[in-house]
Amino acid sequence: MRFSERVSELVHSPIGAAHALVGLRSNDRPLLDLSQAAPSFPPADAVVTRIAQVATEPDSGRYPPQAGLPQLREAFAEDLTSGYEGEISPDSVLITAGCNQAFCVVASALTAPGDEAVLVAPFYFNHDMWLKIEGVKVRYLNPGQGLIPDPQQAQSLITEKTKLITLVTPGNPTGVTIPSDVIHGFADLAARNDLALVVDETYRSFRNESDSAHQLFSNMDWAKNVISLHSFSKDFAIPGYRCGAAVGGQLAITEALKVLDCIAISAPRIGQEAALAGLLHAQEWRLRQADRIKNLEQQFLEAMRKEPGGFKVESSGAYFGWVKHPRSDLPTEEVVKKLVLEHDVLAIPGTAFTVNDDSMIRLSFANLEPQQISELPSRLAEFP
Ligand SMILES: Cc1ncc(COP(=O)(O)O)c(C=O)c1O
């Protein structure tokens, strides 16, 4: 059997690779796991109760409508309408099995092998991987000051083959929130060049700002060039139930739905019911969790203020700290291995998110307890 070179050239999942290192540990000291960006806490009671109830309903095992349960499309359209300036119709919402699948179906609907896409560096690795699987050439836009990308600089990366530009805000791995005027600059760029601006808003509830993340939806013509992607995984702590959404114009939804039909037919019904229960009954819970995680970020920044062991926070936000490590003489994979085996700290190497080794690691503080964060500086300070 022979496999696709596009797939065999890819690295294994960086999260899986980090977890494989844990199996090599011989220390007894409990591990500080700063690797994963998925909530490790249970969902709200109302969500759990609804999940159990759905399992007993006669249609629980049936395919849901392909674009998603109408009640969920409606409730999410309302949630977006109240969170942004501008009205979103339920027809603009395509429910997917998570935001990763939303990106995949949208990117496949937009591109053919040989086309090009622009990702902002450091990028979310699954975006890069999917585009490569699809045979799309990725051009990387290095961000400017404060890790904010510049739409004018992006213009120089656009060719007649470019089909999409992707922004992730707040970013994974940087945590940086892209200011609304910059997002609008990218939307104008997309409109001028007849391409799609795909905005992954997985972490929008975890911003420090309470105003709307952008005002793109208030432009009557937004759907000509903008597709916004969402996840229910973090907002309602249901990553395993796989539910997310793509929000776009009629044509974008129709084209993406063809791809979704082949991959999954529809997002799982039970995950959609869980997301719907969250939207209807766990909004306060969602705000409380977001506040709790913002407090963890403050504690993380305080813990890192004196740059323990020479580790320096370059940016933070949402779930993440993007941190420079002190050993530019070593490959970052080696540093991550030493951290886990000798210092009991599990991090993701920055090389999962960048083309070159820039001596960076990603520390995800959102799953730690406050007392675990207080232990972090002394562990990092042990690092030679
Ligand atoms: C930027 C970004 N997009 C998408 C996802 C995946 O979200 P989902 O669980 O909804 O597929 C993640 C998860 O870590 C992420 O960081």
pLDDT in tens, 304-359: 999 999 999 999 999 999 999 999 999 999 999 999 999 999 999 999 999 999 99
Of the candidates 6, 24, 115, 19, the one whose C-alpha atom is nearest the C-alpha of residue 352 is 19
Side-chain-side CA neighbours of 59 within 13 Å: the count stands at 6
Dist. CA 228 → ligand 1 center (Å): 13
Indicate if ligand 1 lies below 6 Å from the C-beta of 123.
no
Q: Are residues 272 and 370 in the same domain?
A: no
Q: Are residues 222 and 289 in the same domain?
A: no
Lowest mean pLDDT of 12-26, 209-223, 278-292, name the range: 12-26
Domain end among 282, 301, 316? 282
Mean pLDDT over residues 258-275, rounded? 97
Dist. CA 384 → ligand 1 center (Å): 34
Indicate if ligand 1 lies below 6 Å from the C-beta of 168.
yes
Q: What is the CATH number of the domain that holds 96?
A: 3.40.640.10
Per-residue pLDDT at 202 exceeds 90: yes
Dist. CA 123 → ligand 1 center (Å): 12
Is residue 359 within 8 A of residue 324, CB to CB? The reply is yes
Q: For a substitution probing ligand 1, which of 15, 103, 124 has the most ligand atoms within 8 Å of its CB? A: 124
Q: Are residues 211 and 179 in the same domain?
A: yes
pLDDT in tens, 166-193: 999 999 999 999 999 999 999 999 999 9
Mean pLDDT over residues 110-126, rounded? 97
Indicate if ligand 1 lies below 6 Å from the C-beta of 233.
yes
Q: What is the CATH number of the domain that holds 11?
A: 3.90.1150.10
Atom of ligand 1 nearest to the CA of 230: 10
Rounded to two decimals, the pTM is 0.96
Indicate if ligand 1 lies below 6 Å from the C-beta of 175.
no
Q: Are residues 59 and 185 in the same domain?
A: yes
Q: How many residues does the chain have?
A: 384
Lowest mean pLDDT of 37-41, 106-110, 350-354, name the range: 37-41
Dist. CA 221 → ligand 1 center (Å): 27
Q: Are residues 60 and 204 in the same domain?
A: yes
Q: Are residues 68 and 100 in the same domain?
A: yes
Domain end among 263, 282, 301? 282
Dist. CA 360 → ligand 1 center (Å): 21
Q: Are residues 349 and 259 in the same domain?
A: no
Indicate if ligand 1 lies below 6 Å from the C-beta of 102.
no
Domain end among 250, 282, 314? 282
Atom of ligand 1 nearest to the CA of 171: 1
Q: Which amino acid is at 369?
A: E
Mean pLDDT over residues 277-289, rounded? 97
Dist. CA 121 → ligand 1 center (Å): 17
Q: Are residues 323 and 199 in the same domain?
A: no
Q: For a substitution probing ligand 1, which of 166, 177, 231 has the most ligand atoms within 8 Å of its CB? A: 231
What's the domain count of the chain? 2
Q: Are residues 314 and 227 in the same domain?
A: no
Q: Are residues 320 and 223 in the same domain?
A: no
Domain that includes residue 146, residue range: 45-282
Per-residue pLDDT at 209 exceeds 90: no
Phi/psi at 364 (nearest 5 deg)? -100, 105
CB environment 349-364: b (16+ within 10 A), e (fewer): bbbbbbeeebbbbbbb
Taking CA atoms, 225 is separated from 148, 188, 219, 364, in Å, by: 21, 9, 11, 32
Q: Are residues 293 and 264 in the same domain?
A: no
**Residue 14 banded pLDDT, cuts 50, 70, 90:** confident
Q: Are residues 18 and 99 in the same domain?
A: no
Q: Quote the CA–CA distance of 275 and 47 in Å, as a whole number.
A: 8
pLDDT in tens, 50-106: 999 999 999 999 999 999 999 999 999 999 999 998 899 999 999 999 999 999 999
Residue 305 makes CB contacts below 8 A (sequence gap 6+) with none
Would you put residue 225 in left (φ > 0), alpha (ψ -120 to 50) or beta? alpha
Residue 107 makes CB contacts below 8 A (sequence gap 6+) with 117, 127, 130, 131, 134, 136, 164, 198
Dist. CA 101 → ligand 1 center (Å): 9
